[in-house]
């Protein structure tokens, strides 16, 4: 930020910032501390989150990403929340990997609306090498349009990760979804460790990490605290942290699970902001069922990114026009990533 400000000892703002980095970028959180954070009075938690937020970000700036499902449904995994699993009877039309031209048309439309990042999602447990070749082509072309690229394709091998990096992939999304303890109730077809291994490969290949989870699946506060602990204690904080509210889809095992207190969702966003101060915290799935006031609270709690566009992967997202009006009412302006 181009402020003509000097601090005590003649330090510049960036020197002060790096001092703060050392002071607040922690990777040694203890569970009791995180549980205490979640248990703070709501106003105290939000004040703390907003204070941390303002150290690293323009508090009125929001980054927007758009999603496209490039391969839909017929997935062999059993993620209990997911309409794309072949094991459940969700009302969904499966689709093979989309042709390049269709992907580029969607990216151009997203860019036109102001999205700075384009995220391509595929319903795979893990892609085949020939799938990676086609996705790499998509990544190259979307990047050439001047957008940041993101992909979420399931588990990757080392070579696949390197191929995506070489194609210019900026971010890879791979969520831990929940705490390790609760994970076994949600997914049995791959382990928590599988997920951590993929995240490590992505990190080692030099791709920015997008990793978060889902709230509202019937987990406890302690599970949410453990998820945040796991994310914040990674060797490097994920550059993007998507916090999804479960979208309950008919036909999936989690359809009908008791709805979560919306303020518990806001607390999770605030904890992510306090624990990962430099990361983009994304208010992700579930916004279609949130009031404007609830979303405003999430922004106050430190969320500074959303998915923009009328569809997530297979479920609905608010109309772009509604989001634009909300930004206007809140005085939020669109901004880019801090990493590229
Ligand atoms: N198949 C790949 C995988 O699982 O890694 C990539 C796509 S998958 C749909 C990406 C993420 O979307 C999941 O990890 C989960 O966090 C989120 N997601 C899927 N269905 C959801 C739902 N019904 N509500 C909220 N988030 C959901
Ligand atoms: C993430 O954490 N949320 C997005 C993105 N990463 C890939 C996906 C949300 C999917 C919601 C259900 C659907 O639309 O299928
Ligand atoms: Fe498949 Fe991903 Fe859905 Fe799990 S979340 S069923 S891996 S598409």
Mutate to test the pocket of ligand 2, among 284, 290, 306 (most ligand atoms within 8 A of CB): 284
Rounded to whole angstroms, the Cα distance separating 162 from 166 reads 6
pTM comes to 0.91
Question: Does the CB atom of residue 75 touch ligand 3 within 6 A?
Answer: yes
Over residues 231-284, the pLDDT tens digits come to: 999 999 999 999 999 999 999 999 999 999 999 999 999 999 999 999 999 999
From the alpha carbon of 121, which atom of ligand 2 is closest? 7
The reply to whether 298 belongs to the active site is no
Question: Does the CB atom of residue 285 touch ligand 3 within 6 A?
Answer: no
Other beta carbons within 10 angstroms of residue 91's beta carbon come to 9
The reply to whether 150 belongs to the active site is yes
Look at residue 12 in the predicted model and tell me its pLDDT: 54
Range of weakest confidence among 32-41, 91-100, 246-255, 296-305: 91-100
The reply to whether 322 belongs to the active site is no
- Cα 195–chain centre separation: 15
Both tokens assigned to 189: 């077809």
Average pLDDT, the chain: 91
Mutate to test the pocket of ligand 1, among 285, 315, 316 (most ligand atoms within 8 A of CB): 285
Mean pLDDT value across residues 8-15: 50
Look at residue 340 in the predicted model and tell me its pLDDT: 38
Burial class (CB in 10 A: 0-12, 13-18, 19+), 172: buried
The H-assigned helical ranges of the chain are 13-24, 31-38, 42-56, 100-113, 129-144, 158-167, 180-183, 192-204, 221-232, 262-275, 292-300, 320-330
Q: 28-67 in b/e burial notation, b at 16+ Cβ within 10 A?
A: ebeeeebbebbebeeeebbebbbebbeebbeeeebbbbbb
Q: Please, are residues 162 and 204 in contact by the beta-carbon 8 Å criterion? A: no
Question: Does the CB atom of residue 85 touch ligand 2 within 6 A?
Answer: no
Confidence check: pLDDT of 72 > 80:
yes
Look at residue 15 in the predicted model and tell me its pLDDT: 52
Over residues 318-331, the pLDDT tens digits come to: 998 999 999 999 99
Over residues 104-162, the pLDDT tens digits come to: 999 999 998 888 899 999 999 999 999 999 999 999 999 999 899 999 999 999 999 99
Rounded to whole angstroms, the Cα distance separating 67 from 115 reads 10
Confidence check: pLDDT of 38 > 70:
yes
Both tokens assigned to 29: 């959180």
Return the SS3 of 167.
Answer: helix
């Amino acid at each position: 930020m181009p402020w003509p400000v000097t601090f005590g000892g003649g330090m510049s703002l960036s020197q002060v910032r790096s001092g703060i980095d050392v002071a607040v970028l922690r990777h040694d959180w203890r569970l009791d501390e995180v549980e205490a954070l979640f248990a703070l009075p709501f106003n105290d938690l939000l004040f703390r989150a907003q204070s941390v937020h303002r150290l690293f970000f323009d508090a009125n700036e929001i980054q927007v990403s758009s999603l496209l499902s490039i391969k839909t449904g017929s997935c062999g995994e059993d993620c209990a929340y997911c309409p794309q699993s072949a094991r459940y009877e969700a009302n969904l039309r499966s689709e093979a990997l989309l042709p390049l031209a269709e992907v580029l048309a969607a990216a151009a439309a997203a860019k036109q609306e102001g999205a700075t990042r384009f995220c391509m999602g595929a319903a795979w447990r893990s892609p085949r090498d020939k799938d990676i070749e086609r996705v790499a082509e998509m990544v190259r072309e979307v990047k050439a349009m001047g957008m940041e690229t993101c992909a979420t394709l399931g588990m990757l091998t080392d070579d696949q990760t390197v191929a995506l990096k070489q194609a210019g992939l900026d971010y890879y999304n791979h969520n831990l979804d929940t705490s390790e303890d609760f994970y076994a109730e949600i997914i049995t077809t791959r382990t928590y460790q599988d997920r951590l291994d993929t995240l490590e490969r992505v990190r080692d290949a030099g791709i920015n990490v997008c990793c978060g989870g889902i709230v509202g699946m019937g987990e406890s506060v302690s599970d949410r605290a453990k998820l945040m602990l796991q994310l914040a204690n990674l060797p490097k904080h994920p550059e993007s942290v998507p916090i999804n509210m479960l979208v309950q889809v008919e036909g999936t095992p989690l359809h009908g699970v008791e709805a979560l207190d919306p303020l518990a969702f806001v607390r999770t966003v605030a904890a992510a902001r306090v624990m990962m101060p430099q990361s983009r915290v994304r208010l992700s799935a579930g916004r279609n069922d949130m009031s404007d006031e609830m979303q405003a609270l999430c922004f106050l709690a430190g969320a500074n990114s959303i998915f923009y566009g009328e569809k997530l992967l297979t479920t609905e997202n608010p109309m772009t026009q509604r989001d634009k009006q909300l930004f206007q009412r809140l005085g939020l302006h669109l901004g880019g990533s801090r990493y590229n």
